[in-house]
Amino acid sequence: MDTVIKKNHTRYFHVFHLLSAFKNVRGKVLDVGCGKGAILANLKTQRQDLQITGCDFDIKSLQAFKKQFGSLYAGEDISLVRVPKGYEADNPAADYLKLKSFIATRSLTDEEITSRSLQKTCISAFTALRPLLEFINRAK
């Protein structure tokens, strides 16, 4: 008898195959482009011994963040001198790995503070900050 895989079961088999590929993996797993992290969440339930990190880049969110905040504050008062133990010094994300805190600031003019659109300005800034907060809060 032939096995028929219905369309809604295809994803399950893809995830099952992917998870079986991690059978011999030890230590840390980084999934770049993980979307909402459904596969990583499933992997974590199967393999509690792994240190799992996922990240995804949403261009619209990144553009909104840069428009509101520019970049993260990276002063010497919140930065390590070297990357943390376990990471190579030439890691492309070394500047972010050295941060002890993630601080985003946006200056407001006197006109913005006293304008009727202050609430809209604040909501726009917090909306742009939300993906960063969600990313940080996912890390465990």
Domain boundaries, the chain: 1-56, 58-140
Mean pLDDT of 90-118: 88
The whole-number average pLDDT for the span 72-78 is 82
pLDDT of residue 15: 58
Strand spans (E) along 1-140: 28-32, 51-55
39 touches 31 (CB < 8 A): yes
Q: Which pLDDT does position 36 carry in this prediction?
A: 66
Higher per-residue pLDDT: 94 or 2: 94
pLDDT of residue 7: 42
Query: Which tokens in the block code for residue 60?
Result: 């619209």
Percent of the chain with pLDDT over 70: 77
Q: How far apart are CA 80 and CA 100, in angstroms?
A: 7
pLDDT at position 14 is: 57
Q: In 3-state terms, what secondary structure has residue 126? A: helix
Question: Which token pair is 37?
Answer: 């992290």
The tokens for 95 are 């500047």
Q: What is the pLDDT of residue 40?
A: 75
Question: β-strands 51-55, 28-32: how paired?
Answer: parallel
Residue 63 vs residues 58, 70, 94, 120, 138: alpha-carbon distances, Å: 9, 9, 22, 18, 21
